[in-house]
């Protein structure tokens, strides 16, 4: 009793009618309306082709349309390879999970700039070519106290570019205690080799004195490089040299002092029980000529490499041909500008920038979230499940605040229908994936690194895991 295809096609409702369906309204809460309209058009286009080929019929009624569209949307998102994940690990700046989630204002800034043309490299005043670096330079000077700044693709690029500009074909002096390798094969000695600077190691692994630096200076020396020892900490009998002394030595001998701060914190976090890390402002104030740091570590913004320091040096760095190859894109700039603007009101930055909030959230607040998560899981998984709120430990991650352990809370669970080992793996393969840990035959979900909005999603996933064992 096949329908005649052209007649069948006429039964497709207009797009504005479909926009009223519950599945479409749900999608429109997550996505811009225009994107949802495009998805509808894609669906209708596919449907038409299949109807004309005699493969399917047009959905019969509203309910049928609603179900089919719901499935289509879910599949469309499912097919995107890069997807959101739930971080239940307790590692806040998780490099493998994309480091820092963006503040809501930074997210909004990205979609605003992504959607249309912008003044990225256009000087609206002069009506001619402008500089992409102009958008954040003043903000950078405001929040760091430096004279000038520019931003490149990431901090590895920033270090490379700075050395290439200021130390090429000369020597750079580095303390042996600071010759670090950072995850993902960023090795200071290798980077220096690439940039054409010759490395002069001074001191020993645990101790380097000012005189070690002074004695290493030759006519070939161009810079003294100080590197933040991310990822590890040397404990015990150690000595490093104060920045102010190092800056004085460098300047007396006609050299530059460069510091790779790695994480680049702008707010002193020691008031929140975290170790006192040198802030970018302190480093600049101590007389360091150029400071580099990441945008997506403790700053809590997008992936970027930020370079701040003396105006004359920044000008030379901007003119380096390599800068063009390492340049930052417009979406990143949008996110970075919005993130930096939050720092003009530090208490707001601490609340709105997820990385900072997670790092400084009081234990009671984390515990309350853990209790809400436990209650939600009890509701979906029933009484047979073993669900407890337990003490846990978090860490900053991303090589930031090495060795610092942050007291935290987690939900520990054992579900009667699935082994924890299988559950952990199954959860990673869901949409959205939940990355959790195993500990003593239990699954642990950290309450410090999940968002409140993810609580019902996690409870739903865990309940769905019943189906796996069948």
Ligand X SMILES: *Cc1c(COP(=O)(O)O)cnc(C)c1O
Binding track, positions 66-105, relative to ligand X; x by CB under 6 A: ----------------------------------------
Q: Does 225 bind ligand X (CB under 6 A)?
A: no
Using rule CB under 6 A, residue 264 touches ligand X? no
- 203 in contact with ligand X (CB under 6 A): no
Whole-number Å distance between alpha carbons of 275 and 269: 7
Q: 242: closest CA among 293, 180, 286?
A: 286
Question: Which range binds ligand X by CB under 6 A, 18-26, 211-219, 259-267, 274-282?
Answer: 259-267
CA distances from 208 to 71, 175, 246, 291 (A): 63, 6, 11, 20
Q: Which is nearer to ligand X, 73 or 186 (CB)?
A: 186
The answer to whether 240 contacts ligand X (rule: CB under 6 A) is: no
Cα distance between residue 406 and residue 235, in whole Å? 19
Task: Pick the piece of the chain touching ligand X (CB under 6 A) from 33-41, 257-265, 442-450, 453-461.
Answer: 257-265
Rule CB under 6 A: choose which of 212, 259, 260, 337 binds ligand X.
260
**Least distance CB 399 / ligand X (angstroms):** 4
How many of the other CB atoms lie within 10 Å of CB of 382? 13
Minimum CB–partner distance for residue 186 and ligand X (Å): 5
Minimum distance, C-beta of residue 402 to ligand X, in the bound complex (Å): 9
Binds ligand X (CB under 6 A): choice among 110, 146, 162, 182: 182
Tell me the residue nearest to ligand X as measured from the CB: 262
**Site string (280-319) toward ligand X, x via CB under 6 A:** --------------x----------x--------------
Q: Which residues pair with 413 in a beta bridge?
A: 387, 443
| 162 is an interface residue for ligand X by CB under 6 A | no
Instruction: Compute how many other C-beta atoms are within 10 angstroms of the C-beta atom of residue 334.
Output: 24
Residue 134 or residue 231: which is nearer to ligand X going by CB? 231
What does the binding site for ligand X look like in residue numbers (CB under 6 A)? 154-156, 159, 182, 186, 227-228, 230, 260, 262-263, 294, 305, 399
């Amino acid at each position: 009793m096949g329908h005649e295809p052209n007649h069948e096609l006429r039964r497709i409702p207009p797009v504005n009618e479909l926009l009223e369906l519950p599945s479409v309204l749900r999608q429109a809460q997550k996505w811009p309306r225009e994107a949802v309209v495009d998805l509808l058009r894609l669906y209708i286009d596919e449907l038409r082709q299949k109807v004309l080929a005699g493969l399917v019929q047009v959905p019969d009624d509203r309910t049928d349309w609603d179900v089919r569209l719901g499935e289509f949307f879910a599949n469309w998102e499912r097919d995107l390879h890069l997807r959101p994940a739930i971080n239940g690990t307790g590692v806040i700046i998780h490099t493998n999970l994309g480091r820092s989630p963006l503040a809501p204002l930074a997210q909004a800034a990205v979609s605003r700039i992504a959607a249309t043309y912008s003044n990225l490299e256009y000087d609206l005043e002069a009506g001619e070519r402008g500089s992409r670096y102009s958008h954040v330079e003043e903000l950078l000077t405001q929040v760091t106290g430096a004279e000038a700044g520019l931003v490149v693709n990431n901090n590895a690029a920033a270090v490379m570019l700075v050395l290439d500009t200021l130390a090429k074909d000369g020597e750079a002096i580095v303390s042996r205690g600071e010759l670090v390798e950072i995850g993902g094969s960023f090795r200071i000695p290798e980077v220096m080799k690439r940039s054409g600077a010759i490395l002069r190691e001074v001191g020993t692994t645990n101790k380097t004195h000012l005189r070690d630096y002074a004695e290493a200076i030759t006519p070939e020396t161009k810079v003294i490089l100080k590197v933040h020892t991310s990822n590890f900490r040397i404990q015990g009998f150690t000595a490093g040299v104060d920045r102010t002394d190092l800056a004085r030595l460098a300047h007396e001998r006609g050299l530059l002092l460069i510091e790779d701060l790695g994480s680049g914190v702008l707010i002193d976090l020691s008031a929140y029980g975290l170790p006192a890390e040198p802030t970018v402002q302190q480093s600049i104030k101590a007389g360091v000529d150029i400071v580099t740091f990441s945008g997506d570590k403790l700053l809590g913004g997008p992936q970027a490499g930020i370079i701040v320091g003396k105006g004359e040096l920044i000008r030379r760095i901007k003119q380096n041909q390599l800068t063009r190859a390492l340049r930052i894109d417009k979406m990143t700039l949008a996110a970075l500008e919005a993130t930096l603007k939050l720092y003009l009101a530090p208490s707001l930055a601490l609340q709105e920038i997820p990385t900072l909030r997670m790092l400084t959230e009081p234990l009671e607040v984390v515990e309350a979230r853990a209790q809400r998560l436990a209650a939600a899981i009890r509701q979906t998984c029933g009484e047979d499940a073993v669900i407890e709120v337990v003490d846990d430990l978090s860490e900053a991650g991303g090589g930031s605040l090495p060795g610092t352990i942050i007291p935290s809370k987690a939900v520990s669970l054992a579900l009667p229908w699935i082994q924890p080992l299988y559950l952990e793996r199954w959860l990673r393969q869901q949409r959205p994936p939940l990355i959790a840990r195993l500990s003593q035959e239990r699954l642990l979900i950290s309450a410090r690194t999940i968002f409140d909005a993810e609580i019902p999603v996690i409870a739903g996933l865990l309940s769905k895991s019943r189906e796996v064992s069948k």
